[in-house]
């Protein structure tokens, strides 16, 4: 029996040694297969890595393009807001300064509306004065009267009061 145990033990030891040897010293055909599989897996991983790098570059290019478009839109928006603010300030200033221009009185000479009118206007220029005259005509139901010409200033004083003579045409 002791010889039988020895044989079993040595068989077991031989089996374990064979397993260890197979791991440490694989057979040439197994080693080639493992190496081929490893190379195949490595090549697959490299290809996948290349695909991902291409996708990454495309995404970065897309992000750059979108950022550029966003920046362009932001710049246009900023310029538009600045322009709108400038226009609003200018309009407010014009309204404020225009409120200082007034049409004080209108009187006629001659026998009809078309003979002539003298408008007493507070304005800095004849153009402003003429515009106020046109507004007065429209607001008083005289829009069918057109100003033929604004004659030379009848008078102008240092306060900006202008007397404008206007010849009207009946249209």
- Binned at pLDDT 50, 70 and 90, residue 111 comes out as very low
pLDDT value at residue 42: 87
Where along the chain do its domains lie? 1-99, 101-170
**Across-strand partners of 170?**
145
Q: How many CB atoms lie under 10 A from the CB of residue 166? A: 21
For the segment 9-13, the average pLDDT, to the nearest whole number, is: 60
Candidate ranges 42-51, 77-86, 115-124; pick with highest mean pLDDT: 42-51
Q: What is the 3-state secondary structure (H, E, C) of the chain?
A: CHHHHHHHHHHHHHHHHHHHHHHHCCCHHHHHHHHHHHHHHHHHHHHHHHHHHHHHHHHHHHHHHHHHHHHHHHHHHHHHHHHHHHHHHHHHHHHHHHCCCEEEEEEECCCCCCCCEEEEEECCCHHHHHHHHHHHHHHCCCCCEEEEEEEEEEEECCCCEEEEEEEEEEC
Mean pLDDT of the chain: 69
Q: What percent of the chain has pLDDT over 90?
A: 16
Do 142 and 113 form a contact (C-beta atoms < 8 A)?
yes
- Whether residue 62 is predicted with pLDDT greater than 70 in this model: the reply is yes
Lowest mean pLDDT of 12-16, 68-72, 76-80, 99-103, name the range: 99-103
Full strand arrangement of the beta sheet holding 145-156: 102-108, 117-122, 161-170, 145-156
pLDDT value at residue 39: 82
For the segment 129-156, the average pLDDT, to the nearest whole number, is: 63
- Whether residue 152 is predicted with pLDDT greater than 50 in this model: the reply is no
- Whether residue 66 is predicted with pLDDT greater than 90 in this model: the reply is yes
Q: How many CB atoms lie under 10 A from the CB of residue 116? A: 16
Could you report the per-residue pLDDT of 12-54, keeping only the tens digit for each?
A: 666 666 666 666 555 555 566 777 778 888 889 999 999 999 9
Do 167 and 149 form a contact (C-beta atoms < 8 A)?
yes
pLDDT value at residue 144: 61
């Amino acid at each position: 029996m002791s010889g039988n145990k020895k044989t079993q033990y040595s068989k077991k030891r031989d089996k374990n040694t064979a397993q260890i040897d197979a791991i440490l010293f694989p057979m040439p055909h197994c080693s080639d297969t493992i190496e081929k599989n490893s190379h195949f897996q490595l090549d697959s991983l490299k290809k996948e890595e290349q695909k991902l790098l291409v996708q990454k570059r495309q995404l970065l290019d897309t992000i750059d393009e979108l950022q550029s478009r966003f920046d362009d839109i932001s710049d246009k928006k900023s310029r538009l807001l600045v322009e709108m603010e400038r226009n609003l300030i200018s309009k407010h200033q014009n309204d404020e300064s225009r409120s200082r221009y007034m049409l004080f009185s209108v009187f006629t000479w001659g026998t009809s509306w078309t003979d002539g009118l003298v408008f007493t206007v507070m304005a800095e220029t004849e153009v402003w004065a003429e515009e106020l005259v046109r507004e007065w005509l429209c607001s008083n139901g005289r829009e069918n009267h057109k100003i033929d010409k604004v004659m030379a200033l009848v008078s102008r004083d240092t306060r900006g009061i202008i007397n404008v003579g206007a010849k009207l045409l009946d249209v």
